[in-house]
Amino acid sequence: MASNQHSDEIDIINKRIKPNRLPPNPILNLGVQVRLFYERIRARSEV
């Protein structure tokens, strides 16, 4: 793309699904903390 060349690879990359936006920071932090807590609880049963 930088050299104004066209190729099939560029088409494939451009057709990929774009990532979703992340939620605002306070909500994201809460979600991360809840998930980590859940994983710690789950890991206790594996030991």
Whole-angstrom CA distances from 37 to 2, 14, 21, 28, 44 are 45, 37, 24, 14, 11
pLDDT, residue 34, reads 97
pLDDT, residue 46, reads 72
State the pTM of this model.
0.53
Q: Which residues of the chain have pLDDT under 70?
A: 47
pLDDT, residue 35, reads 96
Place of tokens 């920071």: 25
pLDDT, residue 47, reads 65
Q: Give dist(CA 37, CA 20) in Å, integer.
A: 24
